[in-house]
């Protein structure tokens, strides 16, 4: 394995401590369930450069950081090629960095979205596609960090509850790190392609007769009874890895922050991670102002929306979750408090979108040649609402975070185009707006004339406008 590049002088991987998000208790170790030993709330990782330790922050030299991060792109070492470990000065320090379990995650593209820009009226619209990660979702950026710490701590087993993507990612990183993995998923409520990934990567996969929230509850009990390391986003190492999405985004934008970043919300680990990264970058002086971070949920899984609207963000309002965007079918989000705080700190909004709005937005993103899974499409659907409300202005810059690959949920896409996605749930009038976006497969006799006829009809009903 090639050695990693030596960092610039004074640039070191960060030492770290655990800090309770509620009572502020700081400790060097965390318990199996990653809860505060004093008050049971969630832990976060904190560094010598953070001001929340009550000590004078130690600030690294920014020019050194930026050039070390850039320089590593030219290195052949796995930790330097990783779009996560490349930013290791803002991540917890491994005993031996060559021991990082990496699939060269991160390094995801930032795409212009001209058609969606026209649809929303927001001209400066970009999408950061986390579905281009090795297992097809943003989970890989957190998993490389948390799985590496699991192995460093000597665990043989890792486990998670999942709506599909976490389990696919965990199973891959466990396999790469020679650990066994245990997956708890809700029976019948995750897509086959995500489930098949966990099987292929050798996980012991349990389909439980409950929902995601029930799976997560059982996992919390399990980790207290068995020597199993939990890899849900309650695990603060996951959050640290997922922070790099925002670091990489800002580097791609030459450290000029966009006005808005919009992200889907499920268990609320990702929004917490992006928010933590933005606040740390701001505190360090890597960016001069904070983008507004907004979270979008499905109407049927809108716990954070209701928590903010009905309880002023003071207590969680849980819901019985139901949505075809199965990745975010979560009613009792573990990281709600962290997410509520970063929304407040950045001045972001929290909105909900309907099933039809999600399906329409997914097809519109697909028509750009990008493609994403339904949960990711809530971002575009949410942006349309935020523009209507005047929260996002047409001349502001916006980045949508697409969290999962189109191929993660082919059933949804097929049903949409065939026209039976909402067959049992909605009436024809309610789905009429989706009709122009449908492109069902056409079964024909194997004759040239038949194909020419289809071509002519398609050109007539939907002419191609080059450069249009
Ligand atoms: N988008 C996708 C594609 C997801 O898989 C998830 C969560 C989210 C958005 C929401 O992110 O939970 O950090 O707010 N999927 C989890 C899983 C829960 O088990 O794969 P979040």
User: DSSP labels for 210-228?
Assistant: S-HHHHHHHHHHHHHHSSE
Hey, which of 266, 307, 350, 406 would you mutate to test ligand 1's pocket, going by the most ligand atoms within 8 Å of its Cβ?
A: 266
**In the sheet where 204-208 sits, what is the strand order?**
204-208, 180-186, 157-161, 228-230
196-228: burial string, b at 16+ Cβ within 10 Å, e else: ebbeebebebeeeebbbbebbeebbebbeeeeb
For ligand 1, say whether the CB of 413 is within 6 Å of any of its atoms: no
Is the beta carbon of 267 within 6 A of some atom in ligand 1? yes
Look up residue 265 and give its two tokens.
């919300």
With the most atoms of ligand 1 within 8 angstroms of its CB, the residue from 163, 206, 238 to mutate is 163
| pLDDT reported for residue 466 | 54
Q: Whose CA is nearest to atom 11 of ligand 1?
A: 266
C-beta of 275 in contact with ligand 1 (< 6 A)? no
Instruction: Report the residue among 141, 166, 214, 328 best suited for mutation to probe ligand 1: largest number of ligand atoms under 8 A from its CB.
Output: 328
CA-nearest residue, atom 3 of ligand 1 = 404
In ligand 1, the atom with minimum distance to the C-alpha of 168 is 20
pLDDT per position in the chain (468 positions), as tens?
454 444 444 445 568 999 999 999 999 999 989 999 999 999 999 999 887 766 677 777 888 999 999 999 999 999 999 999 999 999 999 999 889 999 999 999 999 999 999 999 999 999 999 999 999 999 999 999 999 999 999 999 999 999 999 999 999 999 999 999 999 999 999 999 999 999 999 999 999 999 999 999 999 999 999 999 999 999 999 999 999 999 999 999 999 999 999 999 999 999 999 999 999 999 999 999 999 999 999 999 999 999 999 999 999 999 999 999 999 999 999 999 999 999 999 999 999 999 999 999 999 999 999 999 999 999 999 999 999 999 999 999 999 999 999 999 999 999 999 999 999 899 999 999 999 999 999 999 999 999 999 999 999 987 666 544
**Whose C-alpha lies nearest to ligand 1, atom 10?**
266
Q: 363 in ligand 1 pocket by Cβ < 6 Å? A: no
Contact between residue 408 and residue 193 where contact means Cβ atoms under 8 Å apart: yes
Ligand 1 contacts CB of residue 268 (under 6 A): yes
Any atom of ligand 1 within 6 Å of the Cβ of 162: yes
The DSSP code for 172 is H
pTM over 0.75: yes
Q: Where are the alpha helices (DSSP H) in 33-164?
A: 62-71, 78-81, 114-120, 139-152
Q: Are strands 397-402 and 124-129 parallel, antiparallel or unpaired?
A: parallel
* Ligand 1 atom closest to residue 137's alpha carbon, by position in its atom list: 3
Closest C-alpha to ligand 1, atom 12:
267
- Residue 355 sits at the vertex; the CA angle it makes with 414 and 106, to the nearest 5 degrees, is 70
Cβ(165) – ligand 1 distance below 6 Å: yes
Question: For position 426, what pLDDT does the model report?
Answer: 93
Asked if residue 306 lies in contact with residue 319, where contact means CB atoms within 8 angstroms, the answer is yes
> Which two three-digit tokens encode residue 28?
């060097």
109 CA distance to ligand 1 centroid (A)?
Answer: 19
Does the CB atom of residue 328 touch ligand 1 within 6 A? yes
- C-alpha dihedral sign at 72, 78, 82, 84: negative
């Amino acid at each position: 394995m090639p050695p990693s590049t030596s960092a610039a002088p004074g640039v070191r991987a960060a030492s770290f401590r655990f800090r309770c998000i509620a009572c502020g208790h700081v400790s060097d170790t965390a318990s199996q369930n990653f809860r505060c030993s004093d008050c049971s709330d969630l832990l976060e990782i904190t560094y010598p450069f953070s001001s929340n330790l009550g000590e004078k922050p130690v600030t690294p030299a920014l020019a050194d950081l930026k050039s070390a991060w850039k320089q590593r792109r030219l290195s052949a070492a796995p930790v330097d090629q990783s779009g996560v470990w490349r930013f290791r000065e803002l991540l917890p320090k491994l005993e031996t960095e060559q021991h990082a379990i990496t699939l060269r995650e991160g390094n995801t593209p930032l795409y212009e979205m001209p058609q969606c820009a026209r649809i929303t009226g927001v001209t400066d619209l970009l999408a950061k596609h986390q579905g281009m990660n090795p297992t097809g979702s943003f989970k890989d950026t957190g998993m490389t960090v948390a799985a590496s710490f699991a192995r460093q701590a000597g665990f043989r087993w890792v486990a998670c509850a999942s709506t599909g993507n976490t389990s696919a990612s965990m199973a891959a990183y466990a396999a790469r790190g020679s650990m066994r993995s245990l997956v708890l998923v809700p029976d019948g409520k995750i897509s086959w392609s995500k489930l098949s990934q966990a099987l292929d990567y050798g996980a012991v996969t349990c389909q439980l007769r409950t929902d995601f929230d029930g799976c997560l509850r059982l996992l919390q009990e399990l980790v207290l009874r068995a020597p199993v390391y939990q890899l849900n986003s309650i695990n603060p190492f996951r959050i640290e890895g997922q922070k790099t999405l925002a670091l990489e985004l800002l580097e791609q934008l030459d450290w000029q922050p966009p006005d808005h970043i919009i992200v889907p919300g499920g268990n609320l680990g990702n929004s917490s991670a992006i928010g933590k990264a933005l606040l740390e970058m701001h505190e360090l002086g890597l960016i001069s102002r904070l983008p507004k971070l907004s979270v979008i949920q499905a109407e049927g899984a809108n716990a954070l929306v209701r928590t903010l609207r009905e309880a002023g963000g003071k207590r969680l309002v849980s819901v019985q979750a139901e949505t075809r965007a199965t990745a975010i079918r979560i009613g009792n989000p573990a990281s709600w408090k962290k997410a509520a705080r970063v929304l407040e700190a950045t001045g972001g909004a929290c909105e909900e979108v309907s099933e039809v709005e999600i399906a329409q937005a997914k097809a519109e993103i697909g028509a750009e040649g990008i493609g994403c899974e339904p949960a990711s499409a809530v971002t575009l659907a949410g942006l349309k609402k935020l523009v209507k409300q005047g929260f996002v202005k047409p001349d502001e810059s916006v980045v949508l975070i697409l969290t999962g690959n189109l191929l993660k949920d082919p059933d949804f896409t097929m049903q949409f185009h065939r026209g039976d996605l909402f067959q049992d749930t909605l009436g024809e009038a309610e789905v009429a707006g989706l009709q122009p976006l449908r492109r069902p497969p056409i079964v024909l006799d194997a004759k040239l004339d038949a194909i020419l006829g289809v071509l002519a009809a398609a050109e007539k009903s939907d002419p191609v406008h080059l450069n249009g």
